[in-house]
Chains A and B, each alone.
Chain A
Amino acid sequence: QITLEQSGPTLVKPTQTLTLTCTFSGFSLSSSGVGVGWIRQPLGEALECLALISYDDDKRYSPSLQNRLTITKDTSKNQVVLTMTNMDPVDTATYYCARSFGYGYMDAFDFWGPGTAVTVSS
């Protein structure tokens, strides 16, 4: 059974750094074709993919946010961590982690965490 759990703050102050942890079970991030991504969604708005890390440590970032984002994995702990620096109220959103599975260009987020609602306010 594949599950993803998320942990991290629900309230951060402007200019602070957000650190979110995704702890998963039921799959290994060292297996071919597997990745974990972070996606966010402001209230009432669309999904935005922020970052993706693959089994081979390939990392991809949103072009508009890449200077603020870092994604890392700890395969032994089954965890993926996303940090986002210099948080601003416009970053208020629900943040999801999700497993990506597939080969070549044919992949999809097939399992999702429950989401963490993050508010940026002083």
Chain B
Amino acid sequence: DIQMTQSPPSLSASVGDRVIITCRASQNIFTYLNWYQQKPGKAPELLIYAASRLQSGVPSRFSGSGSGTDFTLTISSLQPEDFATYYCQQTYSGLRTFGRGTKVEIK
């Protein structure tokens, strides 16, 4: 199985901050990497697919980059509605495995 490791597990940030979340795959997954946002009590929502492609309707302050084993999700200017948990997911091999999540909290 491909293991996905996210860091940090949690972070505190203020509105307007630039936030970067990283995800590392245990083997090369090229650009087959998605990012999701989940708010408490809600189902996850797709933000980014294929490492850098913005899902329709997602604000442009979200961006993704990376290839191979190292990926990042960047929120250019954190908004109040962005406080949530973010998950990466690989789609290269077998069943689609998720990282353990990064919780973005209010500083």
Contacts and interface: CB of A to CB of B under 8 A. Distances in A.
Nearest to A60: B95
A63 B1 CA distance: 8
A62 B95 contact: yes
Interface of B: 1, 30-32, 34, 36, 38, 43-46, 49-50, 55, 87, 89, 91-92, 94-101
A63 B97 CA distance: 11
Contacts of A52: 95-96
A26 to B, nearest CB: 15
Interface size, A (range): 20 to 34
A95 to B, nearest CB: 11
Contacts of B91: 102, 105-108
Please name the 9 residue pairs, one residue from A and one from B, whose CB atoms are nearest each other, closest first.
Answer: A112-B43, A108-B49, A47-B98, A105-B32, A46-B100, A108-B34, A60-B95, A49-B96, A106-B50
B1 to A, nearest CB: 6
B87 A47 contact: yes
